Amino acid sequence: MARYFEEAVGMSFEEALAVASRDEGFKATVYAMNTLLIHKGIYTQEEFQALFVEWVDKEQRRKAPEARRAEGSSAYSA
């Protein structure tokens, strides 16, 4: 499969690693892993989206108390 893709795209995995920034490499890894898992039927797009929303919601709720603490501390620093 790697040879087929290299011929179709014109770039090897090693070349892609060299070109991609650290952030792009991370995003490409997540994209590749999720695409493989969905295509192999490990989970569905809907399941992925539900878990994505769940994680973002948890992070937002976790950050809310931190934001309130930061607002409170800046009120006394004036």
Q: How far is CA 78 from the centre of its chain?
A: 39
23 in the same domain as 6: yes
Query: How many domains, the chain?
Result: 2
> Contact 45/38 with Cβ under 8 angstroms?
yes
76 in the same domain as 57: yes
R_g over Cα of the chain: 20
> Contact 12/6 with Cβ under 8 angstroms?
yes
Q: Please give the residue range of the domain that contains residue 68.
A: 44-78
2 in the same domain as 38: yes
Q: How far is CA 54 from the centre of its chain?
A: 14
Q: How far apart are CA 3 and CA 10, in angstroms?
A: 10
pLDDT in tens, 26-54: 999 999 999 999 999 999 999 999 999 99
Averaged pLDDT for residues 68-77: 67
Eight-state DSSP code of residue 41: T
Please state whether the predicted TM-score (pTM) of the whole model is above 0.85: no
